[in-house]
């Protein structure tokens, strides 16, 4: 029996991966809304089997209990954060913006240090805002997993992740409000992805979408920012959040490995397509369309340059450095004639396939340990 092939249109809503018009057409229209309702189609499952069936998940559960921290008292909230100074220093390491040759013929050709500094500050606010909204997505998803996963050991662990995610929402929200003057709205591409994850009835899709894709990317993104910035409060906040996130990604890898090893090709294909859809949604959001809008720049003019800027391309690709090895470990890359491998090649991220997966990495990320630098995790 041949397995049906979904078109790009069906998976990501457009035929061409890099169709800028179509990407930018997806925007958030209800920017003033304070609520967003998503249908959660899943069954809540009780289990009467209280035996220790999955020791590796129970080990994570024990680690989670001793790894708790308090966002109120463990972080120095009285730290004075001068965003202009912070961004000036961070940009000295990162480079201020694009190569001037790239934007020589555009409306931002006159931008000098001041404009790129403002852009950097807005980008930081936008980035941390998307972290915040993603953390709320994780809070909702792990509450859902606690209900839907049929395994006792996984329910115990997932409940600790709910508390972790509440803490992450708390600290990112507080940082944005107290130090950066408030948050940006959720990016429409991220919201579509979170909607799809919450909406799906199959419990393993929640894990795949959140623990493998969204949290895999978050772990890499937090790692970058943690390594880059010298702002002490943000650095410590990220370090603490990462100690939790490494456990969360491990939870996804350990749980899904068992499930996916026993699945048919047709079932795996649906997971591969979902992993691809999630990858594209996450990549699309890095156009930062809301930041350009806020600075009064025509996003349509700038977006193609952003996609072509080699520094940004490299940075975006690195964000997949956890996702690709984890997908490989789950057997998702090569099933069905290497379907996901070919998609990751198209996205330019397959080079991370042999980097370390995140099944055990949480031990190195514990608070108090010297976390491995990005390159050392390869
Ligand atoms: Fe989190
Ligand atoms: Fe998490």
DSSP states along 58-89? HHHHHHHHHT---TTTSS-TT----HHHHHHH
Please give the distance, rounded to the nearest whole angstrom, from the Cα atom of residue 166 to the centre of ligand 2.
Answer: 10
Confirm whether 42 is domain-assigned: no
- Res 378: pLDDT: 47
- Give the whole-angstrom CA distance, residue 296 versus residue 152: 52
Cα(66)–Cα(177) distance, integer angstroms? 29
Question: Is residue 31 domain-resident?
Answer: no
> Cα(132) to centroid of ligand 1, in Å?
9
Residue 308 in any domain: the answer is yes
What separation in Å is there between the alpha carbon of 31 and the centre of ligand 2?
25
* Cα–Cα dist 253/250, whole Å: 5
Give the C-alpha separation, 378 to 374, whole Å: 7
Report the C-alpha gap between 45 and 259 in whole angstroms: 17
Distance from residue 137's CA to the centre of ligand 1 (Å): 9
Written as tens digits, the pLDDT of the chain (378 aa) is 567 788 999 898 898 888 888 888 888 777 788 899 999 999 999 999 999 999 999 999 999 999 999 999 999 999 999 999 999 998 888 765 677 788 888 899 999 889 999 999 999 999 999 999 999 999 999 999 999 999 999 999 999 999 999 999 999 999 999 999 999 999 999 999 999 999 999 999 999 999 999 999 999 999 999 999 999 999 999 999 999 999 999 999 999 999 999 999 999 999 999 999 999 988 888 788 899 999 999 988 888 888 778 877 888 888 899 999 999 999 999 999 999 999 999 999 999 999 988 777 888 888 888 877 765 554
Q: Measure the N-to-C terminal CA separation of the chain; round to a whole number of Å.
A: 39
Dihedral pair phi/psi, residue 22, rounded to 5°: -65, -40
Sign of the CA dihedral 313, 234, 95, 115? Answer: positive
Residue 110, CA distances (Å) to 99, 290, 375 in order: 13, 21, 36
- Does residue 6 sit within a domain? no
Q: Give the number of the ligand closest to the Cα of residue 131.
A: 1
Q: Residue 39 domain-assigned?
A: no
Q: How far apart are CA 21 and CA 342, in angstroms?
A: 24
- Sequence-ordered strand ranges (E) for 229-299: none
Q: Tell me what pLDDT residue 102 has.
A: 82
Tell me, in angstroms, the distance from the centre of ligand 1 to residue 294's CA.
Answer: 27
Q: Is 60 among the domain residues? A: no
* Cβ neighbours, 10 Å, residue 66: 7
Contacts with 290 (C-beta within 8 Å, 6 or more apart), sequence order: 28, 126, 184, 185, 187
Ligand nearest to the CA of 168: 1
Contact assessment for residue 158 and residue 251, using Cβ atoms and an 8 Å cutoff: yes
Ligand 1 (single-atom ion) residues, CB below 5 Å: 135, 138, 165, 168
Distance (Å) from CA 301 to ligand 1 centroid: 34
- Tokens describing residue 271: 């997971």
User: Which ligand has its closest atom nearest to the C-alpha of 215?
Assistant: 2
> 1 alpha carbon to ligand 1 midpoint, in Å?
41
Which residues form the domain of 219? Answer: 83-369
- Find out whether 236 and 70 touch, Cβ atoms under 8 Å: no
Q: Which ligand is nearest to the CA of 71?
A: 1
pLDDT reported for residue 198: 97
What distance in Å separates the CA atoms of residue 358 and residue 377, rounded to the nearest whole number? 10
Structural domains of the chain, count? 1
Which bound ligand lies closest to the C-alpha atom of 251? 2
Q: Determine the Cα–Cα distance for residues 125 and 291; give it in Å rounded to an integer.
A: 9
CA dihedral 136, 138, 139, 145 (to 10 degrees): 150
Rounded Cα distance between 164 and 241, Å, is 8
Does residue 23 sit within a domain? no
| Threshold 0.85, pTM exceeds | yes
**215 CA from centroid of ligand 2 (Å):** 6
**Cβ distance 128 to 176 under 8 Å?**
yes
In the numeric block, which tokens belong to residue 218?
């978050």
| Tokens at 198, concatenated | 């919450």
Tokens of 16: 């061409």
Q: What is the pLDDT of residue 117?
A: 92
CA of 242 to the centre of ligand 2 (A): 8
| Cα 2 to ligand 1 centre (Å) | 39
Residue 273 sits in a domain whose CATH number is 1.20.1260.10
Instruction: Classify residue 69: in a domain, yes or no.
Output: no
């Amino acid at each position: 029996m041949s397995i049906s092939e979904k078109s790009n249109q069906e998976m990501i809503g457009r035929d061409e991966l890099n169709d800028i018009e179509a990407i930018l057409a997806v925007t958030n229209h209800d920017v003033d809304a304070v609520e967003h309702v998503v249908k959660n189609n899943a069954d809540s499952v009780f289990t009467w089997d209280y035996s220790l069936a999955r020791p590796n998940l129970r080990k994570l559960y024990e680690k989670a209990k001793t790894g708790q921290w308090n966002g109120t008292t463990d972080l120095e909230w009285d730290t004075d954060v001068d965003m202009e100074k912070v961004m000036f220093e961070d940009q000295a390491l990162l480079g201020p913006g694009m190569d001037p040759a790239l934007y020589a013929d555009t409306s931002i050709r006159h931008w000098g240090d001041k404009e790129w500094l403002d852009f950097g500050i807005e980008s930081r606010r936008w980035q941390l805002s998307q972290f915040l909204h993603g953390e709320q997505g994780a809070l909702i998803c792990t509450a859902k997993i606690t209900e839907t996963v049929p395994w006792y050991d996984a329910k115990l662990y997932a409940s600790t992740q709910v508390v972790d995610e509440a803490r992450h929402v708390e600290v990112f929200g507080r940082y944005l409000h107290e130090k950066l003057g408030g948050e940006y709205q959720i990016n429409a591409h991220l919201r579509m992805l979170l909607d799809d994850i919450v909406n799906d009835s199959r419990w393993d899709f929640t894990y795949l979408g959140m623990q493998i894709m969204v949290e895999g990317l978050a772990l890499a993104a937090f790692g970058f920012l943690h390594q880059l910035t010298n702002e002490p409060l943000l650095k410590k906040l990220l370090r603490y959040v990462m100690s939790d996130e490494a456990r969360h990604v491990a939870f996804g890898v350990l749980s899904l490995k068992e499930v996916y090893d026993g699945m048919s090709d047709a079932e795996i294909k649906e997971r591969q397509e979902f992993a691809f859809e999630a990858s594209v949604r996450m990549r699309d959001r890095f156009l930062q369309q809301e930041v350009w809008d806020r600075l009064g720049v025509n996003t349509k003019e700038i977006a193609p340059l952003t996609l072509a800027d080699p520094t940004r391309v490299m940075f975006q690709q690195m964000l997949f450095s956890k996702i690709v090895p984890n997908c490989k470990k789950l057997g998702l890359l090569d099933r069905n004639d290497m379907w996901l491998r070919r998609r990751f090649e198209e996205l330019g991220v397959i080079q991370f396939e042999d980097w370390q997966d995140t099944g055990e990495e949480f031990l190195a990320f514990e608070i108090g340990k010297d976390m491995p630098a990005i390159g050392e995790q390869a």
